[in-house]
Amino acid sequence: MIELPRPYSRSDLVALYEQGLSVRAVAKRLGVSHPMVRYDFQRWGITQRKGKQQSGKANPNWRGGVIFRRGWKLIQNPSHPNSTKTGYVAEHTVVACAKYNLTAIPKGKCVHHINLIKADNSPANLSVLTNRQHKVAHEHLARLAVELLLKTGKVRWNEAILNYEPTVD
Ligand SMILES: [Zn+2]
């Protein structure tokens, strides 16, 4: 059976569903047929709410929760495979999954912020790496940065303070 490529990922469906939308409303929002979305809910193992559904803030699942931990933005999304026991998942995880069309960040991999700014979760700033690649990238950047700063004279040794200091502001 040939399946059409989906213009959405599992996490897109989960995110919309977590907002309290019905399966039918999710399909309408995405501009696709509702049997297609119902099928994807089943094959992607997205648990559906039982009984009558309330939308938006009336839904008990909806908390609109956003919290910050160690510089990371976490959003409430208990259905996401990478969510913690308290139902939060890092925003960079959700964005990276959407960028690479993944249902989850696999074990042994992580999301790297290319410009090192943890709060910048734009897709272009995120890359999914193995833990090893991630360590190598950070070490390589540190070496490059040190070399460049010393070579270009942007950092110099100050014998008075027995430490390095910037030569430019
Ligand atoms: Zn990193």
Place of tokens 């999710």: 26
The answer, yes or no, to whether residue 57 has pLDDT greater than 60, is no
Going from the Cα of 31 to the center of ligand 1, the distance in angstroms, rounded, reads 36
Going from the Cα of 91 to the center of ligand 1, the distance in angstroms, rounded, reads 15
For 97-106, what is each residue's pLDDT tens digit?
Answer: 999 999 999 9
Going from the Cα of 75 to the center of ligand 1, the distance in angstroms, rounded, reads 20
pLDDT greater at residue 124 or residue 59: 124
Residue range 86-104: average pLDDT? 95
Going from the Cα of 151 to the center of ligand 1, the distance in angstroms, rounded, reads 25
Query: Among candidates 48, 45, 5, 43, which has minimal Cα distance to 26?
Result: 48
Going from the Cα of 138 to the center of ligand 1, the distance in angstroms, rounded, reads 6
pTM: 0.58
pLDDT of residue 55: 46
pLDDT of residue 56: 46
Going from the Cα of 139 to the center of ligand 1, the distance in angstroms, rounded, reads 10
The answer, yes or no, to whether residue 68 has pLDDT greater than 50, is yes
For 16-44, what is each residue's pLDDT tens digit?
Answer: 888 888 888 888 888 888 888 888 888 88
* Architecture of the 1-58 domain: Orthogonal Bundle (1.10)
The answer, yes or no, to whether residue 169 has pLDDT greater than 80, is no
Strand, coil or helix: 150: helix
Domain boundaries, the chain: 1-58
Structure tokens at 116: 């090192």
- pLDDT band at residue 47 under the 50/70/90 scheme: confident
Ion ligand 1 — residues with CB < 5 Å = 112
Contact assessment for residue 37 and residue 28, using Cβ atoms and an 8 Å cutoff: no
Going from the Cα of 169 to the center of ligand 1, the distance in angstroms, rounded, reads 26
Going from the Cα of 24 to the center of ligand 1, the distance in angstroms, rounded, reads 39
- Which positions ≥6 away from 11 have C-beta within 8 Å? 80, 94, 97, 98, 103
The answer, yes or no, to whether residue 167 has pLDDT greater than 70, is yes
